Amino acid sequence: MVDDEPIPETKLTSTKRRWAADGKFLTGRIARPGADRLPPGQHLVKDWPVLDLGQQPHISLENWRLDVTGAVENAVSVDWAAFQSMPQSESLSDIHCVTTWSRYDNRWQGVATRDLLDRVMPKPEAEYVMLTSFDGYSTNLPLADFAAEDAILATTWEGAPIIRSHGGPMRLVVPHLYFWKSAKWLTRIDFRSRDAAGFWEKNGYHMHGDPWREERYSGD
């Protein structure tokens, strides 16, 4: 899908727009990360539910590419072999989805976002990133969140390659924010001086998405 092609309306997108308008799932509580492992309004699951925009792109490793653009000293465009040659890291973290499920102790392997930052060297004016996926999805992050210690460009989960339905062959994982911020099928990271809304943020969801502050929707 090309970047400016509209994402088709699905039952999920219309439902989640309605949730945002109605403030569904909000409890009004604030928790403290570290002190409270389970954020307000969440419940634990043992499986990993699949949510997407109705499309799961087929991405062969031969056609996979990650472009890093914008306010960086060293813009790069890497294929799968080049990405795999970058320093590899492991991470253990929890998942918190805005649809109220959480899953503890997920084991990831891939490229730590901090190692990518060391390579591309963001310019002083770079304060945000816009993430774009192969299916046209987008979401925004402050650079400080993208650079979190446990944020990772993950290629494996629980010791096996991440499957297509969960964003394989590579997805972002930013554990301290709601999981819609962890873009599946990531293909471009654009560093910017100003913030801008991505797909869900344009459809009523919060620009930041902190689970412990229940930043689910734009009016929170």
Instruction: Considering the domain delimited by 11-23+39-213, tell me its CATH architecture.
Output: Alpha-Beta Complex (3.90)
Would you state the structure tokens that stand for residue 25, as one six-digit string? 């799932």
What average pLDDT does the chain have?
90
Confidence of residue 1 (pLDDT cuts 50, 70, 90): very low
Q: Return the higher-pLDDT residue of 14 and 127.
A: 127
Percentage of residues of the chain with pLDDT beyond 90: 79
- What is the C-alpha end-to-end distance of the chain, expressed in Å? 32
For 145-165, how does the pLDDT look when each residue is reduced to its tens digit (9 = 90+)? 999 999 999 999 999 999 999
Q: What are phi and psi of 139, to 5 degrees?
A: -155, 155
For 40-90, how does the pLDDT look when each residue is reduced to its tens digit (9 = 90+)? 999 999 999 887 666 789 999 999 999 999 999 999 999 999 999 999 999
Q: What is the pLDDT of residue 133?
A: 96
Please give the average per-residue pLDDT across 18-30, as a whole number.
Answer: 63
Q: What is the pLDDT of residue 36?
A: 83
Q: Domain residue spans in the chain?
A: 11-23+39-213
* pLDDT above 90 (res 197): yes
Run of H or E residues at 171 = strand 171-173
- DSSP three-state, residue 61: coil
Q: Return the higher-pLDDT residue of 11 and 105.
A: 105
Q: What are phi and psi of 202, to 5 degrees?
A: -75, -15
